[in-house]
Amino acid sequence: MHILVLGAAAGGGFPQWNSHAEACRRARAGDPAVRPRTQASLAVSRDGRDWFLLNASPDLRQQIAANPALHPNHGLRSSPIAGVVLSGGDVDVIAGLLNLRERQPFTLHGTARTLGILDANPIFEVLARDVVARSALPLNERVPLTGGGIGGAESGLWIELFPVPGKVPLYLEGHDGPPPIVEGEDTVGVAVDDGERRFFFIPGCAAMTAALADRLRGAELVFFDGTLYTDTEMIDAGLGKKTGLRMGHMSVDATLAAFAGLDVRRRIFIHINNSNPILMDDSPQRRVVDQAGWEVAFDGMEIAL
């Protein structure tokens, strides 16, 4: 399998448009130790010809432009993008779909809950249903990954969506206090395999459960939620009043402990908030992560599995 990291940052990207914090200032200034990153998304292909996006970030048009593998390559109009897999309904997961509205056939995969959010919002009808297939996938069931739109073909890849602790998207939160952290169709992890090799993509996760630990134990490759370094990071920095848990994200320091003993061969943090010091290659927190054997994803990172 071929894997491209299209974007590695959390919602807002890095540097975030309205942030004047140190890391964002250094990124804007072109500091080589602080690389800019667009919002989190992967592309995966079995043959290097047909590609599937894991999440469609608001930066998708920029990400396509930056990756020649995703450029049109025949006829007047075409795209190597055969499908999109959604891990939830957050803005930084679905907004990029609006970049794919020019009647290009592809298949859109997600849970029934996530696709229901799209169905309820007429703006997503710009993805013409006569060419863009919407495929509701069950949880905890490995199924062939299809692409190419209506009547699309199998890709040679398999996919499984599985629940991880999370919450409803911010824009669907009510006014009765913080939403509960639950396991269901709102926040899912994605497992992709080609029959021989498998990797996991989990850009949002509020806690490590026994079931999730069992699923990941011995894995060859895991992309995992790296939003905040500590649970109180936003509060301590004066950037907000929410903890990481309240936002539906497990902190990096907790993740390092949770993965100890799981024997995951390659571990990569993704969906990294602009406040997280691991974005600075020379920070003490980055040294901790490096010494623990973790990598920090960056735009343009390529992996052959």
Taking alpha carbons only, the member of 17, 95, 88, 34 closest to residue 59 is 95
Alpha carbon 81 to its chain centroid, in Å, reads: 17
With a cut of 80, say whether residue 176 has pLDDT above it: no
pLDDT attached to residue 198 = 98
The residue-averaged pLDDT of 49-66 equals 98
Q: What letter would DSSP give residue 68?
A: G
The answer to whether 1 touches 44, Cβ cutoff 8 Å, is yes
pLDDT attached to residue 33 = 98
pLDDT attached to residue 170 = 83
Distance set, CA 300 to CA 108, 168, 184 (Å): 23, 30, 31
How many separate domains does the chain show? 1
Taking alpha carbons only, the member of 104, 5, 123 closest to residue 55 is 5
Cα-Cα-Cα-Cα dihedral of 188, 55, 159, 215, to 10°?
-40
The residue-averaged pLDDT of 95-105 equals 96
Q: What is the mean pLDDT of the chain?
A: 96
Q: How many residues does the chain have?
A: 305
pLDDT attached to residue 24 = 97
The residue-averaged pLDDT of 203-220 equals 97
pLDDT attached to residue 175 = 78
Distance set, CA 143 to CA 42, 106, 136, 190 (Å): 19, 17, 11, 12
pLDDT tens column, 264-275: 999 999 999 999
User: What is the strand order of the sheet 41-45 is part of?
Assistant: 132-136, 106-110, 81-85, 51-54, 41-45, 2-7, 302-304
pLDDT tens column, 154-175: 899 999 999 999 998 988 888 7
When mean pLDDT is compared across 39-53, 55-69, 176-190, the lowest value belongs to 176-190
Reported in sequence order, the residue ranges of 55-180 that DSSP labels E, i.e. its strands, are: 81-85, 106-110, 132-136, 143-147, 153-163
The residue-averaged pLDDT of 212-234 equals 97
pLDDT attached to residue 251 = 96
- Confidence category of residue 153, pLDDT binned at 50, 70, 90: confident
The residue-averaged pLDDT of 109-127 equals 97
Distance set, CA 287 to CA 7, 12, 22, 253 (Å): 22, 25, 18, 12
The answer to whether 153 touches 165, Cβ cutoff 8 Å, is no
**Side-chain half-sphere CA neighbours of 11 within 13 A:** 13
With a cut of 80, say whether residue 105 has pLDDT above it: yes
- CATH code at 242? 3.60.15.10
Taking alpha carbons only, the member of 180, 175, 305, 301 closest to residue 246 is 180
Reported in sequence order, the residue ranges of 178-265 that DSSP labels E, i.e. its strands, are: 188-193, 198-202, 221-225
The answer to whether 265 touches 295, Cβ cutoff 8 Å, is no
Q: Return phi, psi of residue 50, to 5°.
A: -105, 130
Interatomic CA distance for residues 86 and 161, integer angstroms: 9
Interatomic CA distance for residues 41 and 63, integer angstroms: 9
When mean pLDDT is compared across 39-43, 180-184, 203-207, the lowest value belongs to 180-184
Q: Give the structural domain span for 167.
A: 2-304
When mean pLDDT is compared across 67-81, 176-190, 248-262, 264-278, the lowest value belongs to 176-190
With a cut of 90, say whether residue 244 has pLDDT above it: no
The residue-averaged pLDDT of 185-200 equals 97
With a cut of 90, say whether residue 152 has pLDDT above it: no
With a cut of 90, say whether residue 51 has pLDDT above it: yes
Q: Which residues pair with 31 in a beta bridge?
A: none
With a cut of 90, say whether residue 143 has pLDDT above it: yes
Rama region for 233: left / alpha / beta (φ>0; ψ in -120 to 50; rest) = alpha
